[in-house]
Chain A
Amino acid sequence: MTAQAELEADQTETMTVREAIREALREEMRRDEDVYVMGEDVGRFGGVLEVTGDLFEEFGEERVRDTPIAEAGFVGAATGAAATGTRPVVEIMFSDFMGVSMEQTMNQMAKMRYMFGGKTEMPVTVRTTEGGGMGAASQHSGTVHAWIAHFPGLKAVAPGTAASAKGLTKAAIRSDDPVFIFENKMIYEREGEVPTDEDFTVPLGEASVEREGADVTVVATQRLVGESLDVAADLEGDVSVEVIDPQSLYPLDTDTITDSIGKTGRLVVADESPLSYGIHAEVATRVVENAFYSLDAPIQRVGTPDTHMPFSPPLEQEVLPDGDGVRAAIERIT
């Protein structure tokens, strides 16, 4: 690499998570004509949470397609389109709506390559929003990524920073496998430094150590990455906290997490999904399987206590996992 290229590769720009995803879509649509976006109100309207924004102006209605409100139909169509040579990027407005399209997701998209003995590619990307915090109540606030991470044949990513939002989105679109991107709607305005190199991607299955520490490892996803970093900064001097963003839920970077436990001996898993049978359990199990003798304290989980997301603000705040919960978990084991 020339000195000039190296300099360019290192350049970053400050942008929000929302802008980072939009730029990832823009760059990939410019790079590959077979990439197009489809979903409810993604076109002229720009997306209900404004992620697709001005893409319609640049690419037009063929490549930024408004669909009927019919998730089974358009997720199924994206599956058939991906099997026959194009690379659709589908937006499901709220992840709670994924139930409508689950048949096409679990029985077609996830299984076709395998059932056909590998004789099809499935380059489809599904973006959707998750999370409580805006008073949207139970049918617009769910965190369901464990469904997809659990289901064989699908890959799942969940960005926590602007850089990973851009890098994961680009990697997902370039992948020949179905990849779901779970965007927490409360961090769309979160800013961060994002590499400007058009070939910057975050490979699927690679975690990011967002802060190094020696006493306890916090594996945090989505909104809880930033909140855990704030807690780590607050505790500096008392407790040295390592914060890892797995970035990719499936495949999951077991090595980065277990290496960290080898150093700290303590684990907190912070993820907004319901506590039972989910991401927390998977991270904990991998640590127990691979780093059991390094553990010095019981593993702690921070998540939604198996309720739906209620509407009224005091109720929502009661069940929504946050930095205070991460801090309390750290304090219990250090």
Chain B
Amino acid sequence: MSDYTLETEAGRREALRRMLLIREFDTTAGERFNDGDIPGFVHLYIGEEAVGVGTCGALEPEDYVASTHRGHGHCISKGLDPELMMAELYGKADGYCNGKGGSMHIADVEAGMLGANGIVGAGPPLATGAALTIDYQDRDQVALAFGGDGSVAQGQVHEAVNLAATWDLPAIFVIENNQYGEATPVEKQHNVDNLSDTAGAYDIPGVTVDGMDVTAVYEAVSEARDRALAGDGPTLIEAETYRYRGHYEGDHEPYRDEAEIEQWRERDAIESFKERLIERGELTEAEFEEMQAEVEETIADAVAYAKDADLPDPEQAYDDMFGEPVPEIQQFASRPRADGGTEGGDPT
């Protein structure tokens, strides 16, 4: 069984909790980035929570997911630990990637997370490859790639979907259409009305769903998963959604106005799903508030953990390049250092 499924009351509550967890994680990550606590840069998922949560609710824990540069929500949806994620954002040794990856490269291959990815369109070939392994070894799994609307214009996405379709691999491609590829509107980057129309080029099903509706996303991905497991090949799903924040924190957003953002906020995925659960008698306002408080505490704990965690030792920069280390790198790792460790840089 999946961690949660939208088929049960408990599962629906868990889906809501995860959406809240994503929003709280990314709101906090944005604040701590703006404080200067988190180095580098961050791309926030706020507004798009229903896509990640609806998608991963339809997957099993052993399924693979290849993510994007906007990957925090996918990681939480897939069940990754917010503490270890936050530690990674803080560049700490205990983070998912020991501080080597940061926001854009969080990965946990054992848990099926093939990585957030700094290259637009790079995830689909990796998911096609994971689907190839699944097919080759007759495993009972699927591989799913997220991509933004911008990724649909990338050549390697076409190559990946074509390969998966031609070989009938158990793959699913979820296009998160958040209306802008970086700062350029979707209609200025693509010639089709719906990005799912591109599925016709591969003779695979292509559907466009409301990405602000977690149930709609869940149903589309569930159907795609059944199809993939039956050996009928991949499905391309476009989820129409919206990011409330800029492309990256610090984006001054000259390409849109407040009114547009407000229009989408009126259809907020968390708010509407919460209302639906209350209407169905599956949730009370008080329970929701309790859930919200728990989520805030979880993320506050994650930040405290991340702040308190140790930074990596500088010489760990030389680890993990290869399974079988090479002398070219080892010579730096093993040099005596003034601080009693080893010293990087110039080997003279």
> Chain B interface: which of A44-52, A109-117, A258-266?
A109-117
List of A residues within 8 angstroms of B108 by Cβ: 119
Cα(A253)–Cα(B29), bound, Å = 46
Closest chain-B Cβ to A171's Cβ sits at a distance in Å of 10
A117 touches B128 (CB 8 A): no
Q: What band does the interface of chain B fall in when counting residues whose beta carbon is under 8 Å from A?
A: 35 or more
A117 touches B136 (CB 8 A): no
> Chain A interface: which of B30-38, B184-192, B324-332?
B324-332
Which chain B residues numbered 113 to 160 have a C-beta less than 8 Å away from chain A?
114-115, 117-119, 122, 124-134, 136-137, 143, 155-156, 158-160
Counting CB contacts under 8 A, is B163 at the interface?
Answer: yes
Which chain B residues numbered 36 to 61 have a C-beta less than 8 Å away from chain A?
none
B166 touches which one: A68, A116, A175, A252 (CB < 8 A)? A68
Residue of B nearest to A38 (CB): B132
Closest chain-A Cβ to B295's Cβ sits at a distance in Å of 27
Given the contacts A77-B163, A108-B122, A117 and B323 also touching, CB distance less than 8 Å: no
B322 touches A83 (CB 8 A): no
Counting CB contacts under 8 A, is A96 at the interface?
Answer: no
Cα(A176)–Cα(B322), bound, Å = 8
List of A residues within 8 angstroms of B321 by Cβ: 113-114, 152-153
Closest chain-B Cβ to A231's Cβ sits at a distance in Å of 30
> Chain A interface: which of B15-23, B96-104, B225-233, B298-306?
B96-104
Counting CB contacts under 8 A, is A70 at the interface?
Answer: yes
A113 touches B130 (CB 8 A): no
Cα(A80)–Cα(B67), bound, Å = 13
Residue of B nearest to A176 (CB): B323
List of A residues within 8 angstroms of B118 by Cβ: 107
B97 touches A250 (CB 8 A): no
Which chain A residues numbered 170 to 184 have a C-beta less than 8 Å away from chain B?
175-177
B128 touches A80 (CB 8 A): yes
Given the contacts A81-B136, A116-B100, A116-B107, A205 and B125 also touching, CB distance less than 8 Å: no
Counting CB contacts under 8 A, is B66 at the interface?
Answer: yes
Which chain A residues numbered 27 to 50 have a C-beta less than 8 Å away from chain B?
34, 36
Closest chain-B Cβ to A13's Cβ sits at a distance in Å of 29
Counting CB contacts under 8 A, is A56 at the interface?
Answer: no
Counting CB contacts under 8 A, is A237 at the interface?
Answer: no
List of A residues within 8 angstroms of B115 by Cβ: 112, 115-116
Task: Give B180-219 as 1s and 0s: 1 = Cβ < 8 Å from A's Cβ atoms.
Answer: 0000000000000000000000000000000000000000
Residue of B nearest to A71 (CB): B159
Counting CB contacts under 8 A, is A82 at the interface?
Answer: yes
List of A residues within 8 angstroms of B320 by Cβ: 113-114, 116-118
Counting CB contacts under 8 A, is A73 at the interface?
Answer: yes
A205 touches which one: B110, B124, B160, B326 (CB < 8 A)? B326
B126 touches A80 (CB 8 A): yes
Counting CB contacts under 8 A, is A86 at the interface?
Answer: yes
List of A residues within 8 angstroms of B101 by Cβ: 115-117
B100 touches which one: A75, A77, A78, A117 (CB < 8 A)? A117
Cα(A77)–Cα(B145), bound, Å = 12
Cα(A169)–Cα(B26), bound, Å = 47
Cα(A121)–Cα(B110), bound, Å = 11
List of B residues within 8 angstroms of A114 by Cβ: 100, 320-321
Counting CB contacts under 8 A, is B74 at the interface?
Answer: no
List of A residues within 8 angstroms of B114 by Cβ: 80, 83-84
B137 touches which one: A67, A76, A77, A86 (CB < 8 A)? A86
Closest chain-A Cβ to B201's Cβ sits at a distance in Å of 13
Closest chain-B Cβ to A101's Cβ sits at a distance in Å of 9
Task: Give A86-111 as 1s and 0s: 1 = Cβ < 8 Å from B's Cβ atoms.
Answer: 10100000000000000110011000
B327 touches A86 (CB 8 A): no
List of A residues within 8 angstroms of B131 by Cβ: 80
A73 touches B128 (CB 8 A): yes
Counting CB contacts under 8 A, is A229 at the interface?
Answer: no
Which chain B residues numbered 55 to 73 have a C-beta less than 8 Å away from chain A?
64, 66
Counting CB contacts under 8 A, is A309 at the interface?
Answer: no
Residue of A nearest to B127 (CB): A80
Given the contacts A115-B115, A117-B98, A250-B328, A80 and B66 also touching, CB distance less than 8 Å: yes
List of B residues within 8 angstroms of A192 by Cβ: none
B163 touches A81 (CB 8 A): no
A79 touches B125 (CB 8 A): yes
Cα(A155)–Cα(B133), bound, Å = 23
Counting CB contacts under 8 A, is B261 at the interface?
Answer: no
A120 touches B109 (CB 8 A): yes
B136 touches which one: A36, A73, A177, A254 (CB < 8 A)? A36
Cα(A252)–Cα(B324), bound, Å = 14
Residue of A nearest to B331 (CB): A254
Counting CB contacts under 8 A, is A72 at the interface?
Answer: yes
The 9 closest A-B pairs by CB, nearest first: A80-B129, A76-B125, A73-B159, A117-B98, A118-B320, A80-B126, A176-B323, A77-B129, A117-B97
Q: Please give 15 more A-B residue pairs, beta carbons under 8 A apart, in addition to A62-B136, A76-B128.
A: A70-B159, A73-B163, A74-B163, A80-B126, A83-B129, A84-B114, A84-B129, A107-B122, A113-B320, A114-B320, A155-B326, A177-B323, A177-B324, A250-B326, A251-B326
Please list 11 pairs of residues, one from A and one from B, whose beta carbons are closer than 8 Å in the complex, sorted by A's number. A34-B137, A72-B156, A76-B125, A76-B156, A77-B125, A77-B160, A78-B129, A80-B126, A84-B114, A116-B100, A177-B322
Which residues from chain A sit less than 8 Å from chain B, CB to CB?
Answer: 34, 36, 62, 67-68, 70, 72-86, 88, 103-104, 107-108, 112-122, 152-153, 155, 175-177, 204-205, 250-252, 254
